[in-house]
Amino acid sequence: MPLTEDRNTPRRTGDMLSLPAAAAKKFYAGAIVARDAAGNATPGATATDILGMGRCKAQVDNSAGSAGDLRVEIEKGIFRFANSATDPVLVTDIGGNCYIVDDETVSHTDTNQSVAGVVWDVDAQGVWVKFE
């Protein structure tokens, strides 16, 4: 039905989201957080069935909990992570995907790995990953 008066429309900036924590997982501030097939936050790891979501805002310890007992605040944006020593992301990968090795490392290829995000830049300290 069309509006007949002003409306206070809620707004989200898209730079933060919250997901339920997967069972028996600990999340460290600054780590890569992924979403598993059940929709839970899980720390970045080598796997084919997760999707990089962003950077963990604050430590969450659900190591003794069930899925959904706690929530993980995830920041969107561009963040620098470690570059794989054995399968490094290259400058020529800028604009393409990089892949999750663990909760602090990304790599060039997707062998048994899921997408972390888009390569924004590569420098001597690591890989700048854009999480959208």
The pLDDT tens digits of the residues spanning 22-41 come to 999 999 999 999 999 999 99
Of 54, 75, 96, which residue constitutes the final position of a domain? Answer: 75
**Cα Rg of the chain (Å, integer):** 17
- Domain extent, residue 62, equals 16-75
In a domain, 10, yes or no: no
Q: What angle do CA 91, 15, 24 make, to 5 degrees?
A: 90
Predicted local confidence at residue 17, as pLDDT: 96
pLDDT at 12: 84
The predicted pLDDT at position 88 comes to 98
Q: Which regions in the chain score pLDDT beneath 70?
A: none
Of the residues 75, 93, 120, the one at which a domain ends: 75
- 99 and 116: one domain? yes
The encoded tokens of residue 107 equal 């790599």
Q: How many domains does the chain have?
A: 2
What pLDDT does 91 receive? 98
Same domain, 55 and 105: no
Q: Is residue 8 part of a domain?
A: no
Is 38 a domain residue?
yes
CA atoms within 13 A on the CB side of 8: 0
On whether the CB atoms of residues 69 and 19 are closer than 8 A, the answer is: no
Look at residue 13 in the predicted model and tell me its pLDDT.
85
pLDDT for 69: 98
Q: How many whole angstroms separate alpha carbon 21 and alpha carbon 41?
A: 5
Verify that 60 and 20 share a domain, yes or no.
yes
Q: From 49, 75, 101, give the residue that closes a domain.
A: 75
Whether 64 and 29 map to the same domain: the answer is yes
Give a yes or no: residue 39 inside a domain. Answer: yes
Asked if residue 48 lies in contact with residue 37, where contact means CB atoms within 8 angstroms, the answer is no
| Residue 109: CB atoms within 10 Å | 13
3, with CB counted inside 10 A (0-12, 13-18, 19+), is: exposed
The bridge status of strand 77-83 relative to strand 105-107 is: parallel
